[in-house]
Structure 1
Amino acid sequence: RIEWCRARARAHRWQEECLLLAEEMTRVQAYFSYQAGRWEQLSKDPPLINVVSIDDEQVDREDLQSIINGKRAYTLRQADIQRTMLKFCQSKWIGLSEKLLTMEGRDARVMVERQ
């Protein structure tokens, strides 16, 4: 009887770990997607913080445009990095979430003894 209780506790821990891992995978992908969108949004209107020369004189238009283009390139590169990481996770985790949420054909979200 004690062995049965221990086995049941192990099954619950394993079941919980599968649920947590599936949720973590979902959140990681959502995070990368959010970050890519955030960087893309920044590329449309890059912040112009600290775009003043050392002498506190305004930067001329050509230099300002060059700075804006550089910031835009940086933000688009960051967005691309986030999208690449999202695609990598998606390609490596194909079908894994479904496997984590089914345990021998049963729904992993339902406690072990109720199945």
Structure 2
Amino acid sequence: MSAPAQRDPGLQPERTSLAWRRTLLALVVVDLLIWRSWAHDVGAASGGGADLSGVSVLTAMAATMVLAGCVWVRGHELRRGTAEAPAVLVRCAAAAVVALAGSTVAALALAR
């Protein structure tokens, strides 16, 4: 058997890395909007709503940190070679995005 041929990736790894970074930037923007909503709830002294908004803030922050770790790992993998992303990395990123979406919906529902 012969060794598999090396393929020329062109700019694909760079485009992939930029796409992961854009996703992270979008999540940071959503985090900031959730923080703003929470700060408004705390400033209005709305009681239980502020506590639930705080849970949304913590969930969003944790999801963004997980995705930031995924972006960092994937960036290093792309610099080393052209291998596809490991399934666990994609699953972690997807879970982080779903968690952030849930916390965004919760923050919107709690906004008055």
TM class by shorter chain equals 0.3 to 0.5
The TM-score normalised by the length of structure 1 is 0.45
TM-score by length of 2: 0.46
